[in-house]
Amino acid sequence: MTKFVFVTGGVMSSLGKGLTASSLGRLLKSRGLRVTMCKLDPYINVDPGTMNPFEHGEVFVTEDGGETDLDLGHYERFIDEYLHKDSNATTGQIYSSVIAKERRGDYLGKTVQVIPHITDEIKERIRRLGRENIDVVIVEVGGTVGDIEIVPFLEAIRQFRRDIGRDNVCYLHLTLVPHSLPSGEQKTKPTQHSVTELRGRGIQPDVIVCRSHHPISANLKRKISLLCDVPTDAVVSAIDAENIYEIPLVLHAEGLDEIVCRILRLDNSDRLMDLSGWEALVERVRATSEVVRIGVIGKYVNLPDAYLSVVEALKHAGFHHGAKVEIDWVQAEEVTGMLALTRLDSLDGIVIPGGFGERGLEGKIAAAGYAREHAIPCLGLCLGLHMMVVEFARSVVGLQGANSRELAPTTPHPVIDLMDDQVDVEEKGATMRLGACLAQLEPGSQVAAIYGSEIVSERHRHRYEVNPRYRDRLIAAGLRCSGTSPDDRLVEFIELPGHPFWIGTQAHPEFKSRPDRPHPLFRALVGAALNRAHERTPRLYDLDNVPS
């Protein structure tokens, strides 16, 4: 029988519900349980694919091409399992499917209502995740209790326990225990209010996880236990961790997995508990000594969540090399101009991330060119590859005004363009290439060596491709198209022979990086960046020691 854990949050948003849920997932998996996760998002968008990254952070792409909430990225990185489209449901999706059923006449003339039709649809989606080979499904409910749009979700998860039995469901509620300013005293009132709100929807939490800057005292736990009616050991203190990958250990020390398993009657799973791999990872993170500086040339540099998976992939690569990756956020629009180029020179490596129809692309092109000419390790992701190809076409092939058709529809040299078969005949726009695609790597190429394989699969999310009509000219001028789709139609990877690392990929490898298994491209980029940092050190040392 599959068991379900529902994670809700109160007091305020951004408390780290996704990370708490992910950490619990890691702990349960470390007990030998088979875990999957899901996020219910109460917003009305059908998926986050069309949402502004400024507001919502990155869109996480699953193997099957789902455009999902960025929390799914945390889930995958922590539990190391592939999730899918169905692992993220929104109010928009749920209503769309209920309305489609209504139009088909599936409800046999009944009045279609939030209860039971919307709630049944929510429950059905949750239930579907509990497959035969899954022991525990962790379901995070987005938003905060008290939000208007969360109500049908709370009602659905309340009913869920009645439907499948008390011992098969655990309600975990995340709150904040703040300090009062004058006395520094920890305050439980927000937690009490939040639990009251949840109870108002008929849900009595089984476990309360309290975020706070400092550990919560035994006294305070007793108080919360008394007022919120949960056992004292089910009040879990989640103090701020230096690194997100430490959170599972923090929560384990507080007994979170133990109590959740007790509620779900999975207690004997602790026999198999093995956290040694994760502990070793955290040890490695703590032991990082040197610093490597990677510039990310982007548009949303004030909201790093817009590039969350890229940042995490860089960190993972750093863990591998024993180096702390320091990210220098470079606003793409500011790259052109002398000062910015000096700034680029001070970097050990550069990432040009993905994006859609952006301003400031001349800056990304300039950064790609500067990295090419000055042997700075540079990794281009999707739009990043496009900008590298444009730069190479202009500067090396000599195609003046070369550009991507996405950004300059009238360019004389659309080196990046839509493929003919992608354009919808009814001109409804182009279809997006989404999800996992295979690529064939050229034997002997840098990317084949980095991957250690000649067939690789990566996730995609884009419309534009390297224009096949320009491929020969790019190759003749020295660009290596080192990876293509298996039918050789599409360019998947580019590189520059002789350059330490000037590699672009049409895909988004960042989605598949794991803290204990960095993605090979990021690992190699950070490796090359460290080489550059080391080569530079003696020069700086000499400068410091100029005899007076």
What residues make contact with ligand GLN under the rule CB under 6 A? 354-356, 382-383, 406, 461-464
Report in angstroms how near the CB of residue 233 gets to ligand GLN at its nearest: 46
Q: Which is nearer to ligand GLN, 329 or 356 (CB)?
A: 356
Report in angstroms how near the CB of residue 434 gets to ligand GLN at its nearest: 10
Which of 406, 437, 510, 519 is catalytic? The answer is 510
Specify which residues 436 forms β-bridges with. 459
Terminal-to-terminal C-alpha distance of the chain:
77
Q: Which is nearer to ligand GLN, 333 or 516 (CB)?
A: 333
With the C-alpha atoms ordered 439, 445, 446, 452, is the resulting torsion angle positive or negative?
A: positive
C-alpha angle 177-179-184 in degrees, rounded to nearest 5: 145
d(C-alpha 100, C-alpha 93), whole Å: 10
d(C-alpha 532, C-alpha 538), whole Å: 11
Report H helices in 201-288.
218-228, 247-253, 256-263, 276-286
Residue 382 bears catalytic tag = yes
d(C-alpha 385, C-alpha 368), whole Å: 9
Report in angstroms how near the CB of residue 390 gets to ligand GLN at its nearest: 12
Report H helices in 40-87.
53-56, 71-79
Which of 382, 391, 465, 492 is catalytic? The answer is 382
Name the 3-class secondary structure at 528: helix
Cis bond before residue 215 (omega within 30° of 0): no
Residue 355 has which token pair?
A: 């994006």
Report in angstroms how near the CB of residue 96 gets to ligand GLN at its nearest: 24
Q: Which is nearer to ligand GLN, 171 or 511 (CB)?
A: 511
Residue 510 bears catalytic tag = yes
Phi, psi (deg, nearest 5) at residue 536: -80, -30
Q: Which is nearer to ligand GLN, 232 or 431 (CB)?
A: 431
Report in angstroms how near the CB of residue 508 gets to ligand GLN at its nearest: 7
Tell me how far CA of residue 115 lies from CA of 103, 145, 370, in angstroms: 18, 18, 59
Element (H, E) at 122: helix 119-129
Contacts of 105 (CB under 8 A, 6+ apart): none
Report in angstroms how near the CB of residue 546 gets to ligand GLN at its nearest: 45
Report in angstroms how near the CB of residue 349 gets to ligand GLN at its nearest: 19
Residue 140 has which token pair?
A: 């995070």
State the residue for tokens 């995740």.
129
Q: Which is nearer to ligand GLN, 197 or 312 (CB)?
A: 312
Q: Which is nearer to ligand GLN, 95 or 329 (CB)?
A: 329
- The single-letter DSSP state of residue 440 is E
471 neighbors 481 (Cβ within 8 angstroms) = yes
Report in angstroms how near the CB of residue 463 gets to ligand GLN at its nearest: 4
- The single-letter DSSP state of residue 72 is H
Closest residue to ligand GLN, judged by C-beta, is 354
Q: Which is nearer to ligand GLN, 129 or 330 (CB)?
A: 330
Residue 519 bears catalytic tag = no
Q: Which is nearer to ligand GLN, 243 or 422 (CB)?
A: 422
- The single-letter DSSP state of residue 374 is T
Residues marked active site are found at 382, 508, 510
